[in-house]
Amino acid sequence: MSSEPKKRVLIIEDDPEIRSSFTMIVDSSQKFTVVNGYSNCEDAIKHLHSDKPDIVLMDVELAGGMNGIKGTKIIKEKSPSSDIIMVTVYEDSEMVYEALKSGASGSWRRLEDAPPHHWRRARRRCRWPATPASRVWTGCPAARC
């Protein structure tokens, strides 16, 4: 009996604690594995060829250089088959809308003060929208793939 290979997830998040929590949550799944985590788009883009992500989980507002919108455009150019999920703390963000226009597959609204065990519970319970027009989720998008 052969099992499907795990989806390869790349995490781009400037907060090291959040990046670590995302890694823990994703790696706890039987369907996903984190191939790498970066604090900025520039480093992630340099390693796209070797990381070969199926999914990119990326903060919309990254500190410093390139933001998630510009990062989305470049990643989609270099890795068009990768699904990009934008992470935000905002319920209604113009930046998320711009990222979706730039090629992001959807966005995940995370709760700023939610501890990691709440994120795991959200990952188990979340359902992706039935229509492509509604691409904003609360919880974790892991159920989609």
Nearest to 60 by CA among 91, 23, 27: 91
Which pair of structure tokens corresponds to residue 123?
Answer: 């990952």
The whole model's pTM is what? 0.76
Please report the domains of the chain, with CATH numbers, ordered by start residue. Answer: 7-144 (3.40.50.2300)
Q: Residue 98 and residue 80: Cα distance in Å, rounded?
A: 18
Cα dihedral value 81, 137, 23, 61, nearest 10: 80
**Residue-averaged pLDDT of the chain:** 77
Q: What is the pLDDT at residue 74?
A: 96
Q: Which amino acid is at 42?
A: E
DSSP string, 10-79: EEE-S-HHHHHHHHHHHHTSSSEEEEEEESSHHHHHHTHHHH--SEEEEESS-SSS--HHHHHHHHHHH-
Q: What is the pLDDT at residue 140?
A: 44
Cα dist from 30 to 5, 50, 52, 101, 116, whole Å: 10, 22, 19, 31, 17
Q: What is the pLDDT at residue 123?
A: 45
Give the residues of the chain that fall short of pLDDT 50: 1-2, 118-120, 122-145
Which pair of structure tokens corresponds to residue 50?
Answer: 């070797």
Q: Residue 74 and residue 83: Cα distance in Å, rounded?
A: 13
